[in-house]
């Protein structure tokens, strides 16, 4: 250490004499001039032109244009929500990859860019769809000539409140049981109105969070639009984070393999959270109905599984239950969430599995409505239609089994919400 210190002083003084180096008794050191800094010249015009390149452009005819700057890439494609196969982009002379689609159905489309087999967000699109596992970029194709129900319109709007709370029932590994929920209050919501507002408890799917139905599903704008058109009664919509345990997220997509131990545990915990925490807290905070005739539960995918598991077991709590593209799981029917395996499960096995999910279906009170739907191209459609057949024979009350064109996407679930909400409180 002392020799290095002495050498440092010599070098700092700028004296590189042989005597000084020998007195330091250190190995010979070659002092080389520092490499000159590399100066990269950027053509200001080219840089300005590149900065002007935007992506996810909604064109007047309803088509969308995507632009990806990747001059050294061998291939670039876009995966568009609702489509099974990626769409390839073509490279121009400046190295920009581009694609303009045909006119698309008005929607909010999630998408990701694939650059040489690597999936990524579109860096030139500021719109982002939040997700705990797979966030995506967004391209919005507005309704034409009239706005779609999920488009932002110049009409009276409700408000969305964000409520944080600590759950005493959630079982997270770290002991942090923080939970949240978003609450939609319709235009002209009156906290002192004598007639309480009907309430829909609306659940997100796996990998989403409490914000899913407003951020990705535009549920608040859908409600605004349907209320303005007189198609639904003004209602409060409570959208909680639907995880009894956050291990559902930290352990990844592998939890959805038979025998579904963690998803079933998650359902059981969330059922208690819904009945003992979320509903009492919502009723204490908002002017909402406390009777089953004016209380509904609905959800998509994992949330649809919650709706079936919790909603169909409690007709005294929920008069209306909606299940959209539901993840219906039972240890008695391994593989029900896998499209290939689901078709090979016998009807007898399904019967036993469904009976285990709703054991008192034939003896409990009837529902005003149980409404089920799934996308025709959804890998969960087989188990959903099987459950629908069982429900027709076993669940008391009005049972409506449907299919919606499409895959396991928000394009399907927005339509489901629009249809289901118009059937409530009849």
Summarised one tens digit per residue, pLDDT across range 157-206 is 999 999 999 999 998 876 668 999 999 999 999 999 999 999 999 999 99
Which CATH code, of 3.40.50.1820, 3.10.520.10, 3.40.50.720, 1.10.1060.10, is assigned to 159-421? 3.40.50.1820
Look at residue 150 in the predicted model and tell me its pLDDT: 98
Look at residue 7 in the predicted model and tell me its pLDDT: 29
Which residues does residue 10 pair with via DSSP β-bridges, in sequence order? none
Which DSSP string corresponds to 33-95? PPPPPP-----HHHHHHHHT---SEE-TTS-EEEEEE-TT-S-EEEEETT-SSPEEPEE-TTS
Higher-scoring residue by pLDDT: 314, 11: 314
C-alpha separations of 250 from 63, 243, 247, 299, 355 in Å? 38, 12, 5, 22, 31
| Lowest-confidence segment of 32-46, 241-255, 259-273, 315-329 by average pLDDT | 32-46
Q: In whole angstroms, give the CA distance from residue 131 to residue 410.
A: 13
CB 112 within 8 A of CB 77: no
Q: What angle do CA 119, 125, 129 make, to 5 degrees?
A: 70
Look at residue 39 in the predicted model and tell me its pLDDT: 42
Summarised one tens digit per residue, pLDDT across range 330-360 is 988 887 888 778 888 999 999 999 999 999 9
CATH number of 57-141: 2.60.40.10
Q: In whole angstroms, give the CA distance from residue 249 to residue 170.
A: 14
pLDDT-derived band at 20, boundaries 50, 70, 90: very low
Look at residue 47 in the predicted model and tell me its pLDDT: 60
Q: Which residues contact residue 39 at a Cβ distance below 8 angstroms, ignoring those fewer than 6 apart?
A: none
C-alpha separations of 188 from 197, 213, 224, 285, 373 in Å? 11, 21, 11, 17, 32
Plot region of 354 (φ>0 → left; ψ -120 to 50 → alpha; else → beta): alpha
- Share above pLDDT 90 across residues of the chain, in percent, rounded to a whole number: 81
Look at residue 359 in the predicted model and tell me its pLDDT: 94
**Domain ranges in the chain?**
57-141, 159-421
DSSP 370: E
For the residues 7-34, what does the mean pLDDT come to? 34
pLDDT at residue 220 is higher than 60 = yes
């Amino acid at each position: 250490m002392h020799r290095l210190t002495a050498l440092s002083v010599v070098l700092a003084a700028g004296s590189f004499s042989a005597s000084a180096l020998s007195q330091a008794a250190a190995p010979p050191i070659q002092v080389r001039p520092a490499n000159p800094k590399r100066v990269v010249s950027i053509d200001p015009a080219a840089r300005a032109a590149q900065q002007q390149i935007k992506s996810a452009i909604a064109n007047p005819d309803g088509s969308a244009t995507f632009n990806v700057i990747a001059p050294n890439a061998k291939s670039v494609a876009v995966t568009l929500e609702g489509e099974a196969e990626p769409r390839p982009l073509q490279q121009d002379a400046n190295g920009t990859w581009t694609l303009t689609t045909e006119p698309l159905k008005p929607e909010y489309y999630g998408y990701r860019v694939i650059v040489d087999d690597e999936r990524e967000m579109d860096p030139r699109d500021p719109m982002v769809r939040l997700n705990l596992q797979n966030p995506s970029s967004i391209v919005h194709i507005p309704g034409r000539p009239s706005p779609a129900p999920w488009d932002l319109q110049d009409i009276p709007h409700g408000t969305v409140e964000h409520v944080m709370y600590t759950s005493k029932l959630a079982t997270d590994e770290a002991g942090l049981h923080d939970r949240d929920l978003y609450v939609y209050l319709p235009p002209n919501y009156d906290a002192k109105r004598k007639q309480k507002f009907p309430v829909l408890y609306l659940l997100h799917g796996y990998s989403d969070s409490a914000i899913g139905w407003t951020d990705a599903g535009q549920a608040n704008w859908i409600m605004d639009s349907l209320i303005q058109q007189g198609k639904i009664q003004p209602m409060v919509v409570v959208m909680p984070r639907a995880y009894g345990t956050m291990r559902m997220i930290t352990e990844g997509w592998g939890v959805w393999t038979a025998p579904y131990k963690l998803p079933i545990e998650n359902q059981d915990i969330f059922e208690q959270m819904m009945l003992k925490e979320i509903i009492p807290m919502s009723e204490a905070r908002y002017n909402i109905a406390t009777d089953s005739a004016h209380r509904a539960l609905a959800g998509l995918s994992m949330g649809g599984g919650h709706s079936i598991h919790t909603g169909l077991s409690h007709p005294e709590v929920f008069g209306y239950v909606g299940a959209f593209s539901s993840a219906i799981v039972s240890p008695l029917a391994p593989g029900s969430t896998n499209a290939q395996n689901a078709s090979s499960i016998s009807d007898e096995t399904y019967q036993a599995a469904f009976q285990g999910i709703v054991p008192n279906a034939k003896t409990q009170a009837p529902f005003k409505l149980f409404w089920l739907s799934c996308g025709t191209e959804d890998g969960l459609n087989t188990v959903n239609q099987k459950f629908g057949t069982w429900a027709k024979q076993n669940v008391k009350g009005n049972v409506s089994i449907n299919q919606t064109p499409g895959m396991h996407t928000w394009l399907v679930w927005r339509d489901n919400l629009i249809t289901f909400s118009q059937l409530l409180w009849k």
